[in-house]
């Protein structure tokens, strides 16, 4: 009972969540864009090309793992699967996840996890494979 009341209260004052999730999504997409710009710069000169390849592999790995996660999440319903995979490929997954969490999307029967867990998993993959190696690579 207490948990239900608390959950309802938290749902009603979700402006904080909306702001946090939306800014986080915008930053994630901006991060991908700036990483791609740096990769482009690295490929421009012979002495930095190896760092460009390293960064490209990490960004590619992040996108690959996100694709695998989206496939596992939606594999029981093939209809929307192509659209979900396309969203990852064009780099709009953070926005899509944020939209779902902010909109209070309910977990569908065929889903493995709910929208908030999906957002958390995607963020962890992004951080581990894109942001962290990207930082080290640019510093180096």
Partner 1 sequence: MLVKNNHEKKRAVASLLISALATGFASATISLDIDTDPEKRAKQPSFYGYVPDGGQKTVIYSVMVINSALLLLLRSFSVALLMQVKKRYFLMYVGGDMGIYLLQKVLRGDIHYWGQPPGAFGFLVGVLIRVIIKVVTDVSSLDLREGMEVHGRDDTCVGGCQR
Side-chain-side CA neighbours of 114 within 13 Å: the count stands at 8
Q: Is the Cβ of residue 78 or residue 140 nearer to partner 1 in the bound state? A: 140
Q: Is the Cβ of residue 70 or residue 129 nearer to partner 1 in the bound state? A: 129
CB of 110 to partner 1, least distance (A): 17
CB of 9 to partner 1, least distance (A): 9
CA distance 117 to 122: 9
CB of 79 to partner 1, least distance (A): 25
Pairs from 97-101 (Cβ < 8 Å, separation ≥ 24): 97/21, 97/25, 97/122, 98/21, 98/22, 98/24, 98/25, 101/17, 101/21
CB of 131 to partner 1, least distance (A): 4
Q: Which residues bind partner 1 (CB under 8 A)?
A: 2-3, 6-7, 10, 16-17, 20-21, 23-24, 27-28, 30-31, 34-35, 37-38, 41, 44, 47-48, 51, 116, 120, 123-132, 134-136, 138-140
CB of 42 to partner 1, least distance (A): 9
Q: Is the Cβ of residue 23 or residue 82 nearer to partner 1 in the bound state? A: 23
Based on the number of CB atoms within 10 Å of its own CB, is 131 exposed (0-12), middle (13-18) or buried (19 or more)?
Answer: middle
Identify whether the C-beta of residue 91 lies closer than 8 Å to the C-beta of residue 37: no
Q: Is the Cβ of residue 81 or residue 120 nearer to partner 1 in the bound state? A: 120
Q: Please report, to the nearest 10 degrees, the dihedral formed by the alpha carbons of residues 60, 62, 67, 70 taken in order.
A: -170
């Amino acid at each position: 009972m207490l948990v239900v009341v608390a959950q309802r209260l938290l749902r009603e004052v979700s402006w904080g969540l909306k702001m946090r999730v939306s800014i986080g999504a915008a930053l994630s997409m901006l991060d991908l864009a700036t990483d791609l710009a740096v990769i482009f710069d690295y490929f421009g000169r012979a002495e930095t090309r190896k760092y460009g390849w390293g960064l490209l592999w990490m960004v590619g790995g992040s996108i690959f793992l996100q694709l695998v996660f989206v496939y596992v999440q939606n594999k029981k319903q093939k209809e929307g699967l192509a659209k979900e995979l396309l969203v990852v490929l064009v780099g709009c997954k953070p926005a899509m996840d944020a939209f779902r969490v902010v909109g209070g999307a309910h977990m569908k029967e065929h889903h493995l996890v709910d929208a908030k867990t999906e957002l958390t998993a995607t963020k962890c993959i992004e951080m581990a494979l894109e942001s962290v190696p990207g930082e080290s690579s640019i510093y180096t």
